[in-house]
Chain A
């Protein structure tokens, strides 16, 4: 049973699946925090009934902002040395939580990405997302010098120091992606990938659906990646944040 990590689960209208997800997580980890992002359904009550700590946004802020709330709460109110982000929709397999944490416990990394492409065939994804993910993988790998196979993964493990960066205004409020990897790498944090299994989402619909949204996302991500690749003050910001306690 994992006692040294808080599992942060961002959730938006996941009432249908949140109890199953939490039941799965609770088999492997003792502490789970659900951040309910202004859901219009019963997500918060069901998550609370399933034994999770629940925080509720008064309005829908988006995935990145929800994670940020989770990191801020963990830094202020919890003591676990490690944090793991885990999707509420049942895509992530909790039996991989231990292997995700392993590099952090050994001190081999500060940030671990759960890669669906390292653990056998990954579930099929929409073409737009596949192309975007491949482009961002290449860009992130080129800048960081690491082989990144799954920059869009939502299953991540990180230390409290990395959480301090994520709780700051450097963290994107929509979707953290390859830009965050570039930022962490340029701050000097060590990054690695661990194989994880992902299931197809139980709920249809994706933010990458349509034409305009993926196009906007690719443009926004490109600007964000260039921004972090060009910044010269990231190492100084890291020292500042770590010294701030």
Chain B
């Protein structure tokens, strides 16, 4: 791996970790959503700093160059993050459906109460 590639990868992963930290601090990103992003940044950083580890992982998975290993892991993390979002969206869709259903029931109860109250007030 070229020194230039190493420097670029370290800067990119450090920037990612900083950005996630900043977003959490400003409460624009909840901790539970940030975990996989942080893991991505830290994972890449560890692989670059611990270069023998990167070489070992590359041999283990049969990658031709260490750069390929880095890209492969980055891609795997992005896929994991997408799946995690899909799971959360599914849960949100269920919760939204429940909320709208309950709101429909409350509206109906309110209308019934108004109707029942209307004639009583006129008496």
Spell out A's residues near B (CB within 8 Å).
35, 53-59, 61, 65, 68-69, 72-73, 76-77, 169, 173
For chain B, the bracket of interface size reads 10 to 19
Per the bound structure, the CA–CA distance linking A18 and B95 in Å amounts to 29
B100: A residues at CB distance < 8 A = 57-59, 61, 65, 69
Spell out B's residues near A (CB within 8 Å).
93-94, 96-97, 100-101, 103-105, 107-108
- List, sorted by A's number, 18 A–B pairs whose CB atoms are closer than 8 Å: A53-B108, A55-B105, A55-B108, A57-B100, A58-B104, A58-B107, A61-B96, A61-B97, A65-B101, A68-B97, A68-B101, A69-B100, A69-B104, A73-B104, A73-B105, A73-B108, A169-B94, A173-B93
Per the bound structure, the CA–CA distance linking A173 and B108 in Å amounts to 22
CB distance A57 to B94 under 8 Å?
A: no
Seed contacts A58-B104, A65-B97; 7 additional CB < 8 Å A-B pairs: A53-B108, A57-B101, A58-B107, A61-B96, A65-B100, A73-B108, A76-B105
Closest CB of chain B to A180's CB: distance in Å?
16
CB distance B97 to A54 under 8 Å?
A: no
Closest CB of chain A to B60's CB: distance in Å?
33
Closest CB of chain B to A168's CB: distance in Å?
11
CB distance B94 to A58 under 8 Å?
A: no
Per the bound structure, the CA–CA distance linking A23 and B93 in Å amounts to 35
CB distance B97 to A72 under 8 Å?
A: no
Per the bound structure, the CA–CA distance linking A68 and B105 in Å amounts to 13
Per the bound structure, the CA–CA distance linking A55 and B102 in Å amounts to 10
